[in-house]
Amino acid sequence: MDMNTFFNDLQNKISKAVENSPAKDIEKNVKSMMTQGFSKLDLVTREEFDIQTQVLAKTRAKLEALETRLAALEAKAAPVSPAAVSPAAAVQAEPKVEIAKGEVL
């Protein structure tokens, strides 16, 4: 008798014995109880987790691209030194505040 045949035959006999034994019922009951317990918890499936991981990776890449773009735009719009601004432009840039008589700031 070949060893593979022997082990396959032994495996089949054990499987049949377990199917007809109370162990199979216990296994079904334990699985049912675990499934019921897990359903009460806030768990996600592996598929949902993988999808959220992909969404997060895309979002992170988009954020990095936007940060790079923002840095480039900020560099373009760098503030001009105060010496380069004409006095007329500086006066226009100052906010005008009107104060009524007797009013305290």
Q: In this predicted model, what pLDDT tens digit does every residue of 8-66 receive, in sequence order?
A: 887 888 777 777 777 777 888 888 888 888 778 888 889 999 999 999 999 999 999 99
> What is the residue type of 16?
K
pLDDT at position 42 is 81
Q: Judge if 37 and 14 occupy the same domain.
A: yes
65 within some domain: yes
Number of domains in the chain: 2
Residue 95 pLDDT > 90, yes or no?
no
pLDDT at position 105 is 45
Q: In this predicted model, what pLDDT tens digit does every residue of 73-85 receive, in sequence order?
A: 999 998 766 555 5
Using DSSP, state whether 105 is helix, strand or coil.
Answer: coil
82 within some domain: no
Domain that residue 27 falls in: 10-42
3 within some domain: no
Residue 7 pLDDT > 90, yes or no?
no
For 64, 66, 68, 93, 96, the CA distances from 61, given in Å and listed in that order, are: 5, 9, 11, 38, 44
Q: What is the dihedral sign for C-alpha 20, 22, 27, 30?
A: positive
